[in-house]
Chain A
Amino acid sequence: GENVEQHPSTLSVQEGDSAVIKCTYSDSASNYFPWYKQELGKRPQLIIDIRSNVGEKKDQRIAVTLNKTAKHFSLHITETQPEDSAVYFCAARGYGGSQGNLIFGKGTKLSVKP
């Protein structure tokens, strides 16, 4: 089944700096890659997603890039703000034994210092 690795597990940046979180996946058939943000005590919520027919997608200060050959995708947050502080999860759609499921990475705790 699919396996998703996420790095780093913690990330601390100064307000205004950029933050990058990277994920790798194992199943070359995976075709859907969402990113979720989870604030303390809240449910995970989608912030951006990308499909395998697209190499990059941007939404204001957030962008995601996908490299299908290397089987990795990354989340880029520019001009970080204190309200960006949260745990971020990447995920990949599983095939085979995990067909149709979303398999999540272990998360990255992002801290943005004012």
Chain B
Amino acid sequence: NAGVTQTPKFQVLKTGQSMTLQCAQDMNHNSMYWYRQDPGMGLRLIYYSASEGTTDKGEVPNGYNVSRLNKREFSLRLESAAPSQTSVYFCASRIENTEAFFGQGTRLTVV
């Protein structure tokens, strides 16, 4: 049972490049989330998907897009990366009103 799997673990982008962060869960959870973690800022919600076929903006959605491909997969896309998007990104999933399970994180650097 792998839980929540994110790829890649590390990535360096040049300003203006695009990329997609992949996330998959095998726990049959309805809800999936993308957070970013910056020093002193905690975990801030970028986008979430309450169920397959739905997505909604979180606290810091600007510069990102998401796709809930199916119940298992939820991807995060940066269309034109900026240095301000340098961060650690975490995907998570959960069943309603229970704990969230996190992926191992993606450390993204934009130069």
A43 touches B104 (CB 8 A): yes
B45 touches A44 (CB 8 A): no
Minimum distance in angstroms from B72 CB to a CB of chain A = 18
In the complex formed, the residue of A with least CB distance to B96 is A100
Interface string of B51-66 (1 = CB under 8 A from A): 0000000100000000
* Residues of A bordering B, CB below 8 Å: 6, 9, 31-32, 34, 42-46, 49, 51, 89, 93, 98-107
Contact-residue size bin, chain B (C-beta under 8 Å from the other chain): 20 to 34
Interface string of B8-35 (1 = CB under 8 A from A): 0000000000000000000000010101
**When the two chains form the complex, which single residue of A45, A89, A100 contacts B50, counting CB atoms closer than 8 Å?**
A100
**Given contacts A34-B99, A43-B90, A43-B105, could you give 8 more A-B pairs where the C-beta distance is less than 8 Å?**
A44-B43, A46-B100, A49-B99, A98-B45, A100-B50, A100-B96, A101-B48, A102-B100
- Known A31-B97, A93-B97, A101-B33: A106·B103 in contact at CB below 8 Å: no
Interface string of B69-111 (1 = CB under 8 A from A): 0000000000000000000001010101111101111000000
A89 touches B42 (CB 8 A): yes
A102 touches B94 (CB 8 A): yes
* CB neighbours of A107 from chain B (8 A): 40, 42
In the complex formed, the residue of A with least CB distance to B99 is A46
